[in-house]
Amino acid sequence: MILGIETSCDETAAAVVTAGGEILSSVVASQADLHARFGGVVPEIASRRHLELVAPVIDEALSRARATLDDVELVGVTAGPGLIGALLVGLAAAKAIAWGRGLPLAPVNHLHGHVASLYLQPLDLEPPFRCLLASGGHTLLLDVQGRAWDDVGVLGTTLDDAAGEAFDKGARLLGLGYPGGAEIDRLAREGDPAAYDFPVARVAGLDFSFSGLKTALLYAVRDLAPAELEARRADLAASYQRAIVRALVERLEAVGPERLAIVGGVAANSELRAALPDAVAAPLALCTDNAAMIASAARYTSAVGSPEYLALDAYASAL
């Protein structure tokens, strides 16, 4: 059994996964409520909350898997990218468990984790495929040749905001809660996606850009009186979501007929999933941050033995 631990942002998560990719348990404690009144994740608050939650969440994951630490053969933990203080809490917990039990430790790249959400049962997707990884922190078009992170190449990335960030900032402009992606998704169902003609940025190559779109929404909202905004909110959400989805889908069409997969928080978006009927989408519960995907990636990450892993450090940025 592999114990996965994830604390890179505002979810404290632990999971138990078998070497064959079966999820025995996956526990996610979201801190979203704690950060909502600030309209985004406050790093220091996140670190402190991880510290309170990490041990009970690991206990809960083991207990739901009907396992104890005696059953664990490998500890996989997110080492980066993410908020450095938040990452250090998970990494320290993983080191302590590995040290106490004489277990190897696999330092997992969070982005590899998102891709590895596709390698869990029953999906168990085999490379090669092209993969859109769209989350709050990243928007990447990946060429996945094998299951190890070294076998993944980057074809395109965002030049400014990530797709999830565009959803979150748009939600904030519309006066919706944080995090905003799921809120826009829900509200968009009641609105007319053709009501506003928001721009889809056309940048060279396979890169993405979302900052112009956000500015267009800002202008549209600024021109409305409060009562008008209330009346047009669903139309704005639907039109804004349509523009983000169109930007993503256009890029994916440009990479050609290869097999395509979508992962990350934005892959939970219902319109994006519907717009890509032939793509393999990560299961909904595995789109947003979780530790099952980290345990999954740990299977394809070189483990570090004792005591070398004690020197491992967290890292904030990705590429």
Residues forming the site for ligand KG4 (CB under 6 A): 9, 135-137, 164, 167-168, 179-182, 185, 264-266, 268-269, 288-289
**Minimum distance from residue 67 beta carbon to ligand KG4 (Å):** 25
**Minimum distance from residue 73 beta carbon to ligand KG4 (Å):** 27
Ramachandran assignment for 234, one of left (phi > 0), alpha (psi -120 to 50 degrees), beta (any other): alpha
With binding defined as CB under 5 A, does residue 289 bind Zn ion? yes
Quote the DSSP letter at residue 291: S
* 179 interacts with, out of Zn ion, ligand KG4, none, CB within 5 to 8 A per kind: ligand KG4
243: number of Cβ within 10 Å: 24
**Minimum distance from residue 214 beta carbon to ligand KG4 (Å):** 13
- What CA–CA distance (Å, rounded) separates 213 from 83? 26
* 94 interacts with, out of ligand KG4, Zn ion, none, CB within 5 to 8 A per kind: none
Helix or strand or coil: residue 263? strand
For the beta sheet containing 11-17, the strands, ordered from the edge strand earlier in sequence to the opposite edge, are 23-30, 11-17, 2-6, 74-80, 105-109
> 45-66: b or e for each residue (b if 16 or more CB lie within 10 Å)?
bbbbbbbebbeebbeebbeebe
With binding defined as CB under 5 A, does residue 157 bind Zn ion? no
**Minimum distance from residue 144 beta carbon to Zn ion (Å):** 17
Out of 135, 139, 158, 209, point to the residue binding Zn ion (CB under 5 A): 135
* 152 interacts with, out of ligand KG4, Zn ion, none, CB within 5 to 8 A per kind: none
54/268 with CB nearer ligand KG4:
268
**Nearest by Cα to 32 from 18, 16, 45:** 45
**Minimum distance from residue 237 beta carbon to ligand KG4 (Å):** 11
Binding-site ranges for Zn ion (CB under 5 A): 135, 289
